[in-house]
Amino acid sequence: MHNFSFHNPTKLIMGKGTIAELSKEIPIDKKVMITFGGGSVKKNGVYDQVKTALARHNTVEFWGIEPNPAIETLRKAIELGKKEKVDFLLAVGGGSVIDGTKLISAGLLYEGDPWELVEIGSSTNTVPLATVLTLPATGSEMNNGAVISRRETKEKYGFYSKHPVFSILDPEVTFSLPPHQIACGLADTFVHILEQYLAKAGESRVMDRWAEGLLRTVVEIAPLIKENQQDYQLMADFMMTATMALNGFISMGVTEDWSTHMIGHELTALCGLTHGHTLAIVMPGTMHVLRKQKEAKILQFGERIFGVVTGTHDMRIDETIRKTEAFFRSLGLTTRLSEENIGTDIIDEIEHRFNERDAHYGEDGLVTGAVAKEILLQVL
């Protein structure tokens, strides 16, 4: 296990009716800007719950933060927040709304173009932020990361700020989510865990078993959720697993990968494919191309999660990759680029972008432009 320093300051408030807790969690003297995506929060009752809880607070609303939050939209939110002298932010939505609001929290205290903050990659000079999560997937409700897009140049980059002060997770708000969003959220959660798990073997039994518990949970609940999305306990498990997958708890002292995410970000930026869906396509290709480097962990993953224990090492790796892809397909997701009409022109552009930034992603820095191309051709 490597040396590490761990601190997660986000207060997690989970359960039925917990949106009402907003009234006492946000100081009454704060000017609050509430950020939203589309109108689904009005259909499922979340909007009314938030407004009721904050009836005595001074609030302003910003609507329209899209999936893969775009700087072009976030500039407008920052302009409104500065005009209204906002000093507290509440993101109500899924990972995209929360990610976008993290950049807003830094942009409110920044005098230049907020895209400069994305290019820098981080800012700790921020306005306090809290969240009401409506879509489990990214873990953004309990970490300091975000991913911001720029439509005009089809770019998408990571950005880091401060953790949310608190996050409210009420599983009942997930009951009306579209099945495709659920599927992408499950895939996103699964691959978040794999990016921290499927790297170096033997670094930490504790982190391995913790990650495996989360992976097994996703595999177990996914078909049950498909049958009954209104099951409170199932959706509570889904919410909690998505949060635990990327709040730093399973990465303590271990090597991480994240090359699948970096390739997936480019697919989203160039083609508009939902983030979790890109990961379901790319991950089997990453496992295949990097099978020698990841051999020990893939074998462990196959045995402990999918029960793959017979055959040669190569046979077991092939079967583990097959079962991983089959799991993603069981969610209702495609797992091949050609199924989404994505061809070699996009693959060539991703290779070009990786080469331009002299990319060396992955736990050993092996994922260059050429390797990214090999991974994508594997899943074409």
Residues 245-262 as b/e (b if ≥16 CB within 10 A, e otherwise) read bbbbbbbbebeebbbbbb
pTM, full prediction = 0.96
Distance CA 43, CA 173 (A): 10
How many domains are there within the chain?
Answer: 2
The verdict on 333 and 210 lying in the same domain is: yes
The verdict on 55 and 148 lying in the same domain is: yes
What is the domain-level CATH number for residue 363? 1.20.1090.10
Cα(first)–Cα(last) distance of the chain, in Å? 37
- Angle, alpha carbons 184-188-189 (nearest 5°): 120
Residue 149 has φ and ψ, to the nearest 5°, of: -105, 160
The verdict on 127 and 220 lying in the same domain is: no
The verdict on 186 and 278 lying in the same domain is: yes
What is the domain-level CATH number for residue 131? 3.40.50.1970
The residue segments making up the domain with residue 93 are 11-173
The answer to whether position 1 is within a domain reads no
User: For 150-176, what is each residue's pLDDT tens digit?
Assistant: 999 999 999 999 999 999 999 999 999
The answer to whether position 6 is within a domain reads no
Residues 60-79 as b/e (b if ≥16 CB within 10 A, e otherwise) read eebebbbbbbbbebbbebbe
The verdict on 153 and 214 lying in the same domain is: no
The answer to whether position 4 is within a domain reads no
> Which pLDDT value is given to residue 141?
98
Look over the chain and give the mean of its residue pLDDT values, rounded to a whole number.
97
Distance CA 171, CA 330 (A): 23
The verdict on 124 and 232 lying in the same domain is: no
The residue from 144, 173, 202 where one domain ends is 173
User: For 207-245, what is each residue's pLDDT tens digit?
Assistant: 999 999 999 999 999 999 999 999 999 999 999 999 999
Distance CA 206, CA 147 (A): 29
The verdict on 144 and 212 lying in the same domain is: no
Closest by CA position to 367, among listed 256, 257, 254, 276: 257
Distance CA 209, CA 197 (A): 10
pLDDT above 90 for 39: no
The answer to whether position 2 is within a domain reads no
The verdict on 161 and 221 lying in the same domain is: no
User: For 238-275, what is each residue's pLDDT tens digit?
Assistant: 999 999 999 999 999 999 999 999 999 999 999 999 99
The answer to whether position 369 is within a domain reads yes
The answer to whether position 252 is within a domain reads yes
DSSP annotation string for 161-214: -PPPSEEEE-GGGGTT--HHHHHHHHHHHHHHHHHHHSS-TTS-HHHHHHHHHH
The verdict on 202 and 341 lying in the same domain is: yes
The verdict on 298 and 331 lying in the same domain is: yes
User: For 286-312, what is each residue's pLDDT tens digit?
Assistant: 999 999 999 999 999 999 999 999 999
The verdict on 285 and 240 lying in the same domain is: yes
The verdict on 211 and 153 lying in the same domain is: no
Closest by CA position to 238, among listed 91, 92, 367, 135: 135
